[in-house]
Amino acid sequence: MTDWLDIGDADSIPPLGSRVVRTNRGDIAIFRTSDDQYFALDDRCPHRGGPLSQGIVHGRRVTCPLHNFVIELESGRAVAPDEGCAHRHELRVEGGRLRLAVAVRSRVEP
Ligand code: FES
């Protein structure tokens, strides 16, 4: 079962920026593109677990700060020739607020 958690004001993330939401199932990185699209991925690069939230957002991709894997924000997949996938989370914007889909048993930590 899924619940939609309010994780804050969409404008709190600048264009081409990101933030981290801490849950009891791990950190989730929230990204905003230059055209105000929002995406949520586990904050773990599929290569060696680097913090994707600290990467550079460009277009609909983020480049990992550790070894430069490029990750598609919509799917979490690494761009070839690299391989791997960061888990993607459903996210929507309602009335200027970000809502993250989480399993009912997950919990956002303060
Ligand atoms: S940990 Fe992300 S590219 Fe290596």
pLDDT tens sequence across 27-81: 999 999 999 999 999 999 999 999 999 999 999 999 999 999 999 999 999 999 9
- Do 109 and 23 touch, CB atoms closer than 8 A? yes
Q: Which helix (H) or strand (E) holds 26?
A: strand 26-32
pTM of the model: 0.90
pLDDT at position 20 is 97
State the distance from the centre of ligand 1 to the C-alpha of 52, rounded, in angstroms: 8
| pLDDT of 17 above 70 | yes
Mean pLDDT of the region 16-30: 94
SS3 content of the chain, % helix, strand, coil (to 5): 5, 45, 45
- Do 84 and 69 touch, CB atoms closer than 8 A? yes
Q: What is the largest CA-CA distance in the chain?
A: 39
Of 45, 52, 56, 79, the one to substitute when testing ligand 1's pocket (max ligand atoms within 8 A of C-beta) is 45
